[in-house]
Structure 1
């Protein structure tokens, strides 16, 4: 049962996110053609989905929530009346995995990695319905009419069952949360794994793509697509954060003071720098000190 307390917490988090990264009061629907028959969709700039139109049907990438999903469905219907065949979930977090019922009501199959689906069943949320189908392992090939879609599970990095969607013919990927251009990471969430996140980004950079659609993008609108350079920048931020942390330790700085003293001027213009950098340092501190002090050398 979804309690009033859970609803209050959820709505509070949504308000905080909206306050930090744009108000939803003046919603603006943006649809951009990213590749042949593939479009990005944003309702207000805060969350970005994607959809592809095949010869006979439509595939949706990331439903977000019912309000977003209904607006995306309306945008799709302005382009085509073909049936929605699939709505794909990237991971378990409720702000991404909600709204699936909008598309199952249209006859679509909703699909998520088994790890994400198990969490969704165990942690019901009023706007989130478990996927109608699941997949497991590290790779799944999905063929929808002439459209080839690769589903890649790169391991634990953010959330459960985090899936990268790759369209090889378009050399295009859809990435949820693990890369947000021009934004400092929101790393207080307990199911982030920073070192595995770095490893996942390195694996991602080896894939053959030249365009990426991100679930969040803090670059100037209406830019809703990016490139490998954005993935590389995210990786460099994580690496620079840890490197700077260990540099402070080597100088003899008290570890508990590092979150208030460490600065990364290279990223000072990124969204969230002033509000979240210290929190990011605390997360590195927590991850690197799973045991007693003194600090251990940085693993190679």
Structure 2
């Protein structure tokens, strides 16, 4: 593997990602988020606020009951602060696994919450925002068809066999999406402001935002994206070892371009 950290830092970061909290709905520090965005935007590189809203522990129960992990009012409180930051700093917002389980119904619920916030009287003088929705719900008919064709398999020997009865008795089934649907949606609508997604693997929106920006700089496809690297001085900066410049609880990542792997 050949790395040229000097070249990567000279070119600047590929993008910045700021995550105010690991899971939407539990509240976060708005000053920490603002500080992170102010630092990130200094380089002029694309910046996004990205956070998850799902839970492996309670997700199955939420799918069965049709309920969300946090009260609707908690999501609205957090989204109001996030949307304020999106408008003030002109950054993007990506949220995955809406409502805790990422069901199609909860993606729509999140979209409704965002619309309510944008249509509030105190938002009348603000610019409109473009939203993208990614749904990960799986139709029962499609799953029954795939099961009958032998195209569904478990993830290992410890996983119980998936049966026709399982499908028919499940009120809601979702597929866990990777970064590809995010990249496809962003490529199709590059002028978006907010992306709300259904059930997703937690790192998916983070990987997708990096891939999206890498693809904008090249003519390659998704497979051409290579991992980036964080130089030592950037690690020191993020951890506060440079004199406590960044001490908030929100997490920030600088993503650098990596050279292609050498055979």
Higher helix share: 2
Higher strand share: 1
- Both proteins in one fold, TM over 0.5: no
The two structures have a TM-score, normalised by structure 2, of: 0.26
Greater RCO, CA 8 A, separation 6+: 2
